[in-house]
Amino acid sequence: MNNYIFKSERLGFRNWNENDKLKMGEINSDPKVMEHFPAIPTQKQTDEFIERMQTQFSKNGFCYFAVDKLDNKEFIGFIGIAEQNFESDFTPCVDIGWRLAKTEWGKGFATEGAKKCLEFAFNEIGLENIKSICPETNDKSKKVMKKIGMKKTKSFNHPLLSEYKELEKCVLYEIEK
């Protein structure tokens, strides 16, 4: 039984559970999925990420949600909103993000899910502003940001990526309620 916090047309959004850890580890181990990140996370790092998301959900009522396809209840990755606290002139903030299994790319799930998460953030949580961040090289994510109505507000050097010159230059997109 999946307890969905909310649903879009084809997706269910929920808190994470133990069963998601290995599946998310498989998604995170795909070099194409992690192309715009400094490294492929270990299973331990994936487990710690999920635990951080569970903590954020308990604290705030939101996180990068575990996402299932409604037609077959298959877990396909995450889409959601999460706190970002790295050192910059626009943090702390709430960021929208997504990471889906490569087999699910090109089906409109990231756009559909992100639109529903914005609706949830603005109408249920009462947030006024959502940001999204990605390396300048991540054209797929920038395309989703534009499709969900976000506008580019700046380029910046991400302080957590300073050792990764090809990823350090990032873009910030924003949307207001």
1 pLDDT exceeds 90? Answer: no
Q: For the chain, list the domains and their CATH numbers.
A: 6-127 (3.40.630.30)
* Choice between 70 and 165, residue whose per-residue pLDDT is larger: 70
**Residue 165's pLDDT band (boundaries 50, 70, 90)?**
confident
User: Which residues, at least 6 apart from 45, have a Cβ–Cβ distance to it below 8 Å?
Assistant: 28
Q: Tokens standing for 101?
A: 């299994």
Torsion on CA atoms 152, 153, 154, 158, rounded to nearest 10: -80
**Range scoring the smallest mean pLDDT among 79-83, 114-118, 132-136, 157-161:** 157-161
pLDDT in tens, 85-128: 999 999 999 999 999 999 999 999 999 999 999 999 999 999 99
The SS3 call for residue 173 is: strand
